């Protein structure tokens, strides 16, 4: 299947997905900065997934409260921006490219 998918164009890949997926339900409001979705497969199986969405607004980030807490704490002890960025990256809260 992966080899076939790589050779297929976008329209063909969409059609292949339609053959195996019955429906998709999406809920952006269930948790801040996250998108929950469920896939109902043609077999009748159902899978649920959560992804952290990209955002340009800090208030919409999934980990905003933790980010704010870490920044305030590190800033209070005199940490510079680089140290704060390294701490957020080490925690897995943010990727270097997001800073």
* pLDDT digits 0-9 by tens, 24-66: 999 877 666 678 899 999 999 999 998 876 665 555 566 777 8
Q: Return the closest-CA partner of residue 66 out of 35, 94, 31.
A: 94
**Other Cβ atoms closer than 10 A to 68:** 13
Q: In whole angstroms, what is the distance from residue 98 CA to residue 95 CA?
A: 5
Residue 91's pLDDT band (cuts 50, 70, 90): confident
Tell me what the pLDDT averaged over the chain comes to. Answer: 79
pTM: 0.51
Q: Is a pLDDT exceeding 80 seen at residue 97?
A: no
Q: Return the closest-CA partner of residue 21 out of 45, 5, 40, 34.
A: 40
Which residues, including other chains, have CB under 8 Å from residue 99's CB and lie 6 or more apart?
Answer: 85, 88, 89
Contact 94, 67 (CB under 8 A): yes
Rounded mean pLDDT, 59-78:
78
**49 vs 85, more confident:** 49
**98 vs 23, more confident:** 23
Q: What is the structure's pLDDT at 41?
A: 95
């Amino acid at each position: 299947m992966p080899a076939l998918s790589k050779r297929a164009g976008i329209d063909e890949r969409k059609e292949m997905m339609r053959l195996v997926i019955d429906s998709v339900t999406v809920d952006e409001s269930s948790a801040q900065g996250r998108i929950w979705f469920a896939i109902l497969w043609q077999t009748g199986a159902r899978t649920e997934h959560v992804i952290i969405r990209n955002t340009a607004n800090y208030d919409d980030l999934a980990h905003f409260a933790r980010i704010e807490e870490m920044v305030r704490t590190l800033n209070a002890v005199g940490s510079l921006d680089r140290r704060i960025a390294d701490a957020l990256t080490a925690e897995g809260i943010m990727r270097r490219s997001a800073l």
